[in-house]
Structures are given as C-alpha cells and as structure tokens.
C-alpha cells in the first residue's frame, strides 16, 4: 500500500521550504497543498489547531507540525540519505545550532532590514556577530553536513536566499565574500545544489512581496 504524504505550505514560507528540500533529498513523493494564511483552510486548522500555521506534514493521515520537528520526523521515518549526524554529539550540536538559527540569527537579520536608525545599527552588529559564529561551524567543509547537505544546511537554507533578496531591495548586504568567504561559498553550493535549485520561490514574486515592507537605505 502506497504511503500518503501531504505537505500544507505557502509558496514563500522559508519554514515550508525546509520540508520541501528534505522530502526532495529523500526522494519522497508527496502532494502539495498551498494555503492562503489570510483565509486558512478548515483542513489546516484541523491539523494544526494549536499554532494554525504552516508547514504541516501529513503522513498516512497523521499530522506533524513545526519545521524542525518535521525534519527530524522525516529523517527518522525514511532512512535513506540521512540528514542528522549518526553520532549523538553531532546530532546534539546540529540541534543546538538549528535553535540558534531560529532564535538568534534569523531575528537579528530580519531586524537589520525591518528596523530603522539606532535599532537597525545595533541589529546589523548583532547579525554580523551571529553570522561569524555560523561561518565558524563550517570549519572548511563544503556543507554543514560534510560533503552532503544535512539537517543544519536545510535549517540554514534561508541564508542562501533571503539576505541577498533583501540586499537587492535595500542595498544593505550582510553576506559577502570579503566578510564571510566560507559562508559565501556555502551559499553558492547550497543554492545551486540539484536537490535545492528548482525549489526556490519565484524571484520576481518575492521582490513584489517584500519591496513594500522593506525601507530602502538612503545613499
């Protein structure tokens, strides 16, 4: 009997993209259900009554919510092309830096683009400090997972897209080869990986989405 795998997502959600990438790396066939978060479907509200948001993975009728939890579920359910390290220490470290990404790095980068004045200046400093910590974790590797894309690469995958998109709109570039040569190389490798490249949201559509809410930097 074929497995039922469905993914409730939006077209632009960076959290949903994590699940898309993981399913693609694992070569899992699935059905995509696109949600309008301004008019959430009864199914989404049924499957995720607590947070009422995407992504939600449905596996044989059972919902799994929250992107980091979904990634671990996928890795534990489908054993091919493992995402998390096999050693307990490596798994713990990947989980730690994943939380760092969502709790520290992402907010500091978002604030760098959404805030103004002194708050923005402070956010940029914090974002650059956080990016330095992330670059150190690569430690000369092609990917955070080594030679292949792993759990932490997927969690940090938004770094290969949103900062450059926001820089195009605002002129503020946080990641460049001079400041972060190792991370910049990772951005190139991740963005263009065959399992990743065809799953980015449309560039022009993303520009249209974010341009009205981002304030260009005066020059």
User: Within this chain, do residues 108 and 59 fall inside the same structural domain, yes or no?
Assistant: no
Contact 61, 5 (CB under 8 A): no
Contact 32, 84 (CB under 8 A): no
Task: Give the rounded percent of residues in the chain with a pLDDT score beyond 90.
Answer: 95
Q: Give the total number of structural domains in the chain.
A: 2
The domain containing residue 143 runs over which residues? 88-213
Give residue-wise pLDDT tens across range 80-108: 999 999 999 999 999 999 999 999 999 99
User: Within this chain, do residues 40 and 109 fall inside the same structural domain, yes or no?
Assistant: no
CA distance to 12, 56, 140, 184, per residue, from 36 (Å)? 11, 14, 41, 33
**Domain closes at, from 77, 97, 118:** 77
CA atoms within 13 A on the CB side of 4: 6
Give residue-wise pLDDT tens across range 28-69: 999 999 999 999 999 999 999 999 999 999 999 999 999 999
Tell me the pLDDT band of 1, cut-offs 50, 70 and 90: low
Cα–Cα dist 190/116, whole Å: 31
Give residue-wise pLDDT tens across range 151-194: 999 999 999 999 999 999 999 999 999 999 999 999 999 999 99
Tell me the pLDDT band of 121, cut-offs 50, 70 and 90: very high
Question: Is residue 218, in this structure, part of any structural domain at all?
Answer: no
Q: Which residues, at least 6 apart from 155, have a Cβ–Cβ distance to it below 8 Å?
A: 18, 67, 68, 71, 97, 98, 101, 102
């Amino acid at each position: 009997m074929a497995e039922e795998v469905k993914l409730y997502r939006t077209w632009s959600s960076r959290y949903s993209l994590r699940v898309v990438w993981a399913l693609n790396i694992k070569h899992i066939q699935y059905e995509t259900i696109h949600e309008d978060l301004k008019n959430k479907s009864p199914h989404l509200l049924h499957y995720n009554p607590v947070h009422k948001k995407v992504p939600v993975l449905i596996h044989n009728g059972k919902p799994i919510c929250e992107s980091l939890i979904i990634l671990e579920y996928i890795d534990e359910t489908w054993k091919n092309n493992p995402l998390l390290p096999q050693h307990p220490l490596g798994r713990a470290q990947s989980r730690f830096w994943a939380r760092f990404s969502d709790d520290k790095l992402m907010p500091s980068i978002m604030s760098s683009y959404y805030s103004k004045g002194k708050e923005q200046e402070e956010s940029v400093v914090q974002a650059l400090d956080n990016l330095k910590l992330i670059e150190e974790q690569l430690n000369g590797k092609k990917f955070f997972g080594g030679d292949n894309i792993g759990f932490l690469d997927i969690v940090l995958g938004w770094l290969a897209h949103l900062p450059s998109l926001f820089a195009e709109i605002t002129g503020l570039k946080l990641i460049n080869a001079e400041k972060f040569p190792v991370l910049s190389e990772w951005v190139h490798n991740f963005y263009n990986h065959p399992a990743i490249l065809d799953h980015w949201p449309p560039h022009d559509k993303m520009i249209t989405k974010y341009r009205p809410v981002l304030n260009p930097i005066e020059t």
